[in-house]
Amino acid sequence: MKITQISVFLENRKGRLFDVCSLLGDNEINIRALTIAETESFGVLRIVVDKSDVAVKILKDNGFVANLTHVVAVEVGDKPGGLASVLKVFADNNVNIEYMYGFVEKFSDKALLVFRFADTDMAQQILAKNDIKVVTEKEIEGL
């Protein structure tokens, strides 16, 4: 199962992250996972929210550049070596990770991690074959 991530272009300027978050908050949209990749002059905010279609429309209506990307949220045992065991599966199967980040909250005793793959479909097949649990869009909304 793929889930939807919203990416937003942000200049390195005071208050821009606040602007995005308060805009989403005012519209009753809940952020589940978040990361920022930055360069010296700009950054890309990546978020997973409960209502991504609504959220991306609100962002665009307010002048932000935003797009939707498919990512995979994977359950990882919340213990030493938990992440490594999942990464080993990717490494053994030549699955290339573009980037990854953690969830803000958990919905079981497992940790949740968001992966962006170069080839999402292939990554999903490998995950399924190795019985690694991925989180569905529905589960994200219900978090």
Partner 1 sequence: MIWKEQVECAGPADLKNLQSDYLSKLTAYIYNNCPVYKKKIDEAGVKPEDIKSIDDIKKLPFTTKVDMRDHYPYGLFSTDQSEVREIHVSSGTTGNPTLVGYTKDDVKLWSDVMARTMCCAGAEPGDTIQIAYGYGLFTGGLGFHYGAMEMGLRIIPTSAGQTARQLKIMQEFKPRIIACTPSYALYMAEEARDMGIDPAKGNWKIGIFGAEPWSDSIRREIEELWNMLATDVYGLSEIIGPGVAQECPHKDGLHIFSDVFYPEIINPESGEEVAEGEDGELVITTLTKQAIPLIRYRTRDIVSINYEKCRCGRTSPRISKIKGRTDDMIVVRGINVFPSQIEHVLVGIEGTQPYYQIVVDRKAHKLDEVEVLVEVEERIFSDEIKELKELQDKIRKEIGAVLSIGVKVTLVEPKTIERSMGKSKRIVDKRTL
Q: How far apart are CA 103 and CA 123, in angstroms?
A: 19
Q: Can you name the residues that pair with 116 across neighbouring β-strands?
A: 99
In whole angstroms, how close is the CB of 5 to partner 1 at the nearest point?
7
Residue 131 CA to chain centroid, in angstroms? 21
In whole angstroms, how close is the CB of 70 to partner 1 at the nearest point?
10
Site string for partner 1, 36-65 (x = CB under 8 A): -xxx-xx-x-x-------------x--xxx
Residue 127 Cα distances to 4, 45, 85, 95, angstroms: 18, 26, 12, 10
| Site stretch for partner 1 (CB under 8 A), options 2-10, 26-34, 77-85, 120-128 | 2-10
Determine contact, residues 29/41, Cβ cutoff 8 Å. Answer: no
Sequence-distant (≥ 6) Cβ neighbours of residue 94 within 8 angstroms = none
Query: Residue 42's CB: how many other CB atoms inside 10 A?
Result: 13
In whole angstroms, how close is the CB of 134 to partner 1 at the nearest point?
19
- In the range 81-110, which residues lie near partner 1 by CB under 8 A? 98-99
Q: Which is nearer to partner 1, 70 or 88 (CB)?
A: 70
Q: Which of 72, 114, 116, 134 binds partner 1 (CB under 8 A)?
A: 116
Question: Using CB under 8 A as the criterion, which residues of the chain lie in contact with partner 1 when the complex forms?
Answer: 5, 7, 9-11, 16, 37-39, 41-42, 44, 46, 60, 63-67, 69, 98-99, 116
